[in-house]
Every structure is written in structure tokens, then in C-alpha cells.
Amino acid sequence: MKLAIVFITVILTTWCLRDPHTVLGVSKTASKSDIQKAYRKLARKYHPDVSKEPNAEEKFTEVAAAYEALTKEPEPQQHQQRPRGGGYQQEFYFNGKRFTFSSGGGF
């Protein structure tokens, strides 16, 4: 139950209007190492097991969400494969087996 509350808090803080740079206290031109140093410092300060502040858990999740927003790499886009006929081919895996479906596009 507590994990679900933390997860929801992280999602809500990710959608918040605060700038991640402001949350971590770094400039917009900060390097990755500066961002990581600021995150580690604030994570130690606001960790719920260490901090005695009443809202330490919320601050900790806000800091974690800001760090994730700044360091998250964009996911590579996956495109549908086009067979030689101009149709589309789509594949997926189910129970360890590969299934492929083709549509349209004759040779």
C-alpha cells in the first residue's frame, strides 16, 4: 500500500509545474555530474529514513522525480517494418514465441 502511495506521489510530482532545475537547485546549463551531485545531496537530506521533517517524504519524491526528468534518456522510436510490397509487417512475442502479421502489398 505504501509503495502505491509513493508511486502515485512520484507520478503527480512529475506532472507538477515546478521546474526540475529549480527543485534540484542547479542552473539550466548544469552538467550531468552537477545534477547528480545536487540530487545525491538532496536525497540524503530528505530521505524519509534519515530526515525528521514532517514533509520529508514528499520532498524526497519531488527531488527523485526532478532528477529522473533531467536524466531520462529519450526512448528510441520503433517503426513498423515494411516488406517489399509496400504493405506493413508487425510482429510480437507471446509466451516466448514470435508471431508476424503482414498486411497488403503484393509483389
Can you give the pLDDT at residue 99? 74
Q: Note if the pTM is more than 0.85.
A: no
Assign 1 to helix, strand or coil.
coil
Can you give the pLDDT at residue 43? 93
- Closest by Cα among 31, 5, 35 to 23: 35
**Alpha carbons 65 and 16: distance in angstroms, whole number:** 10
Per-residue pLDDT of the chain (107 residues; tens, 9 = 90+): 565 665 565 555 555 557 888 999 999 999 999 999 999 999 999 998 998 888 999 999 999 989 998 888 776 666 555 545 556 667 777 777 777 776 665 54
82 to each of 75, 76, 87, 89, 95, how far by Cα in Å?
21, 18, 6, 6, 25
Can you give the pLDDT at residue 96? 73
